[in-house]
């Protein structure tokens, strides 16, 4: 099928906006529909550069609004869904688990059921259709930190750097059992099960991918990297949980968008693919790298702002280590990260420093007022 009408949910968010931009630019023959509720983390300013394209459409809607979702699927004759819309901040999930269950579980179920009803009503039914669900590595739980100083990683890619370390001998594979520890990861695990159930019960073509931590431009500044870049700039404290020993696998967001593109077009239905950066870093080492990079780019003395680092009480259920084995994706579809982490951090820091107006707009909440006004009469 050459003519695709693709619905991307959460397309005004951090990862979603990069996926929307990639598809709109790369596939002018496709119609790309961005469905977003425009909660605090959704910002159409992220897509200013493509908002006037002929193959781009925006629909303000809640994925939990089943009737509205079904109406949109019919209106645009959607034959592919890339489902990114989710509540994703662990700290928020600890304070408000109901919202996470509602959006991530019931919202996904709403999307699945609407897709089932619409696609089964079409002459070709499920032929040429795909429901692609983006999930997280956090569903797998926590890995042991067995190499506290780090050893050379068993994985090699073109993007390997001097810091290509592993902090343990185990890695998340697609076959790992689910062991979510936070309300956020529990809600994502549940949504993954529903997606697979719709394949097994109804024959819906589905794919699930579980990705590691993303970073890059347009990330809402509640997340570590943009928050700390902004705090260093304004010389505000850098609060680090515990001793900062927790390890995460980091991936540049544009590399994730490339993986989504590849999997959407060439991945095998009913499969799961893990997407990771082969790139483990302790939180404290990332914070130190950010201080060093921001200070250098602002013309300050080296590590001038290291004294901003403060250690705070660890959060409940804080997983020690995430690390993804992406070799299935590498082997089957030829994907691997394109950037070394230091190169990606340099690009990311430069973007936030060069786009202070975007940051000010987001941190003040002004962007929400603007779009509320724009859509209140629609």
The vertex-254 CA angle with 182 and 219, nearest 5°, equals: 50
Are 261 and 26 within 8 A, CB to CB?
yes
In the block, tokens 């302790």 appear at 282
End-to-end CA distance of the chain: 33
Q: Which of 59, 62, 87, 138 is catalytic?
A: 138
Please name the helix (run of DSSP H) or strand (run of DSSP E) that holds residue 199, with its range, or none: helix 183-202
Are 188 and 136 within 8 A, CB to CB?
yes
Quote the pTM value. 0.94
Which residues contact residue 164 at a Cβ distance below 8 angstroms, ignoring those fewer than 6 apart?
152, 153, 155, 156, 278, 279
255 is catalytic: no
Bridge-based pairing state of the strands 151-152 and 165-166: antiparallel
d(CA 67, CA 53): 27
Residue 316: per-residue pLDDT: 87
User: Can you point out the beta strands (E) in 63-120?
Assistant: 80-83
305 is catalytic: no
Are 345 and 226 within 8 A, CB to CB?
no
Q: Which of 249, 246, 248 is nearest to 318 (CA)?
A: 246
**Alpha carbon of residue 42 to chain centroid:** 13
d(CA 368, CA 302): 37
Are 122 and 209 within 8 A, CB to CB?
no
Predicted confidence pLDDT, tens digits, the chain (378 residues): 458 999 999 999 999 999 999 999 999 999 999 999 998 888 999 999 999 999 999 999 999 999 999 999 999 999 999 999 999 778 888 999 999 999 999 999 999 999 999 999 999 999 999 999 999 999 999 999 999 888 888 887 776 655 678 999 999 999 999 999 999 999 999 999 999 999 999 999 999 999 999 999 999 988 899 999 999 999 999 999 999 999 999 999 999 999 999 999 999 999 999 999 989 999 999 999 999 999 999 999 999 999 999 999 998 888 999 999 999 999 999 999 998 899 999 999 999 999 999 999 888 766 455 444 544 544
Q: Which of 184, 218, 322, 352 is catalytic?
A: 184
In the block, tokens 């996904």 appear at 108
Q: Which of 246, 272, 271 is nearest to 168 (CA)?
A: 246
Are 49 and 66 within 8 A, CB to CB?
no
137 is catalytic: yes
d(CA 76, CA 122): 13
Q: Which of 137, 280, 319, 325 is catalytic?
A: 137
In the block, tokens 């997983």 appear at 319
Buried-state track 15-32, b at ≥16 Cβ within 10 A, e below 16: bbbbbbbbbbeebeebbb
Are 135 and 174 within 8 A, CB to CB?
no
**Dihedral angle of Cα 143, 147, 151, 155, to the nearest 10 degrees:** -10
Burial of 180 (0-12, 13-18, 19+ CB in 10 A): buried
Residue 310: per-residue pLDDT: 95
């Amino acid at each position: 099928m050459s003519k695709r009408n693709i619905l991307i949910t959460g397309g005004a968010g951090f990862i979603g906006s990069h996926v929307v931009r990639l598809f709109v630019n790369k596939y002018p023959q496709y119609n790309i529909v961005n469905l977003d509720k425009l909660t605090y983390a959704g910002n159409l300013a992220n897509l200013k550069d493509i908002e006037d394209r002929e193959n781009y459409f925006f629909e303000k809607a809640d994925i939990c609004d089943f009737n509205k979702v079904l109406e949109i699927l019919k209106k645009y004759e959607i034959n592919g869904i890339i489902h990114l819309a989710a509540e994703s901040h662990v700290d928020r999930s600890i304070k408000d688990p109901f919202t996470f269950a509602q959006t991530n579980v019931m919202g996904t179920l709403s999307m699945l059921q609407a897709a089932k009803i619409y696609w089964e009503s079409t002459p070709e039914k499920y032929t040429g259709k795909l429901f692609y669900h983006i999930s997280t590595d956090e569903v797998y739980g926590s890995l042991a930190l067995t190499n506290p100083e780090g050893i050379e990683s068993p994985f090699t890619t073109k993007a390997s750097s001097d810091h290509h370390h592993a902090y343990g001998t185990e890695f998340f594979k697609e076959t790992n059992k689910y062991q979510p520890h936070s309300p956020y990861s529990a809600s994502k695990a549940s949504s993954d099960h529903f997606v697979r159930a719709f394949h097994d019960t109804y024959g819906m073509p589905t794919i699930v991918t579980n990705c590691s931590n993303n970073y890059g431009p347009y990330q809402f500044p509640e997340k570590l990297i943009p928050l700390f870049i902004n705090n260093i700039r304004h010389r505000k404290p850098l609060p680090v949980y515990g001793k900062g020993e927790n390890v995460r696998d980091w991936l540049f967001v544009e590399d994730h968008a490339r993986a989504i593109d590849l999997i959407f077009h060439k991945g095998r239905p009913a499969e799961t693919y893990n997407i990771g950066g082969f790139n483990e870093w302790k939180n404290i080492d990332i914070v130190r790298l950010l201080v060093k990079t921001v200070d250098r780019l602002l013309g300050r003395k080296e590590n001038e702002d290291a004294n901003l680092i403060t250690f705070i009480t660890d959060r409940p259920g804080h997983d020690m280590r995430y690390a993804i084995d992406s070799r299935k994706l590498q082997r089957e579809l030829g994907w691997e990260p394109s950037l070394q982490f230091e190169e990606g951090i340099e690009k990311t820091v430069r973007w936030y420093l060069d786009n202070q107006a975007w940051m000010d707009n987001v941190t003040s909440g002004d962007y929400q007022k603007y779009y509320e006004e724009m859509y209140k009469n629609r």
